[in-house]
Structure formats: structure tokens, C-alpha cells
Structure 1
Amino acid sequence: MTAATVYRPVGTARIKVRLPYAVGNRAWIHSILGDLTRPEWNREDKSWDISRQHMRTLVEALAERFGSVDVTIDFRTNSRCDDRCRDAEGDDCDCQCMGENHGGAAYWRNWREVGETTLVATAGISQRVFRVVSR
């Protein structure tokens, strides 16, 4: 079982990061993400709430520190997908295609093309769960 987890909900909410308790966890987060980062301890969830923009850097650092990290990402499946997703650059995407189309990946899978650039799928929220291991 992995020692750390990262959860990214749909929308603009902050990511939730769980790692084993250590006195220096806040300082470690600052050393990875910079002193201007404002991690907030969520007592109810027993996790750190951190800005979404830091997800990739944090996942890589957690994998390096703990050997692996389990990542859960929610994706919206209740709206349309189109060339904005397919032609996207960067990592942040909460599109309904669950990243299948992101950046030009197999945009035809499990989608019905409607019009020139619109792709349609079923409604709901889906999750992808994966483990990232250190190199």
C-alpha cells in the first residue's frame, strides 16, 4: 500500500493530499512548491488542500519521497468535448472525456461525433485512479 495519495475533484476545488504524519510536512511542501504556496490543513479530511496548479510537481515529488503515490482524478462526463480538449496543451483537464482526447489522444474512442468538432458522451462524473512510482 502506498504512503501518499492525491485527489483532484472536478471543477476548481483544490487538490487533497494525504501523506504520513511528520512534523516537517508543511516545510517539505514549501520546499517543493515554494514559500508562497499556501497549503491548508483540512482537519475533517485529514489532508492538505493545495492549489491545483501544483499537482504535477507534487505528484512527482511524493513519488520520489515515498516510492509511489496513488492519484485519483475526477472527470466530468455531462457536457460536450471538442477540439479545445483534443488540441489542449498542459496537464490540467477536467473534461468529460477523462483525458481520452486531451492533447490529441485517441479522440474517437467511446465518443459520438456531432458536427465538425463536437464529441458527445454520457452524463455523470467518472474517476481515474492510478499509481505513480518513482523512476
Structure 2
Amino acid sequence: MPYAEDNRAFIHRTLGDLVRPERNQAEKCWEIARTHMRAMVEGLAERYGSVEVTIDFRTTSKCDTRCRDAGHDDCDCQCLGENHGGAAYWRGWIEVGETTLVEVGIARRTFLVVRR
């Protein structure tokens, strides 16, 4: 949200006095708990007419050791062959279970919310 003297007060009016928003100086943004996101986005859209929202969330990719270790052309894995035969050797796969591989990362999504 653009700088304004009353930004912290606006957050408290929108989310309640018990909320403790943190200012991320490096990213030049406010950080709030996920449970308050909907109310905050609606309040910002009402205040400014629209708001661009960026969300960082943890993602999990799944593959299979049989795909990663394959030496032939057959693959029925959800990666659609991206990791076939160890093609994505640089990925930080964690083996869980007998054959399942997972990779955890962070994804960022941005979207525009317009006042109703």
C-alpha cells in the first residue's frame, strides 16, 4: 500500500487492535498472518479501488524414483518426463516412501483485486 501516516491505524481499523502487522523494510511491504488476508485485501480494495496482491506459498513437486532412474522411454509420472532419466539432476529431491520423490519450494503468485 502506498505510504501514508495512518497505514498502521488503517490496518488496525480493518483487522482489529490485537493484530500485530510487521513492516518488511527490505521488501517495502507489510506482513500479516494468512488468516487476515481476505479482510485486508477487501479493506485495501475499498480504500484504493483496487489492490495488487502477491502471495508466497510453499509448493511440493512429486516424482518417482522409477522416472528419475529410468533408462528407457516409458514414463507415466506426473512430471510428464521432465525428470526422466535424471534430467533434473540439480533438483533437491527428498525420497519419501519406497519410490516417491518430493521437492519443496516457494512459489509467488500475483493478482489484482478490484473493489465491488
When the two structures are superposed, what TM-score results if normalisation uses the length of structure 2? 0.57
In the alignment, the residues of structure 2 paired with residue 37 and residue 77 of structure 1 have an alpha-carbon distance, to the nearest angstrom, of 27
Alignment of 1:1-135 (within 5 A): 19-79=1-61, 112=78, 124-135=105-116
Cα-to-partner distance string for 1:40-67 (whole Å, 9 max, x where unaligned): 2222222212111100000011011111
The alpha-carbon deviation at position 79 of structure 1 amounts to 4.4
RMSD over aligned Cα, in angstroms? Answer: 2.6
When the two structures are superposed, what TM-score results if normalisation uses the length of structure 1? 0.50
The alpha-carbon deviation at position 72 of structure 1 amounts to 2.0
How many corresponding residue pairs? 80
- Structure 1 pair 127/47, CA: closer, same or farther in 2 (3 Å)? closer
The alignment partner of 1:55 has SS state of helix
In the alignment, the residues of structure 2 paired with residue 50 and residue 76 of structure 1 have an alpha-carbon distance, to the nearest angstrom, of 17
Bigger radius of gyration:
2
Where structure 1 has 5 or more consecutive residues not aligned to the other structure, the ranges are 1-18, 81-110, 113-121
- Structure 1 pair 66/38, CA: closer, same or farther in 2 (3 Å)? same
Q: Quick check: 122-131 or 60-69, which moved more? A: 122-131
The alignment partner of 2:11 has SS state of helix
Percent identical pairs in the alignment equals 60
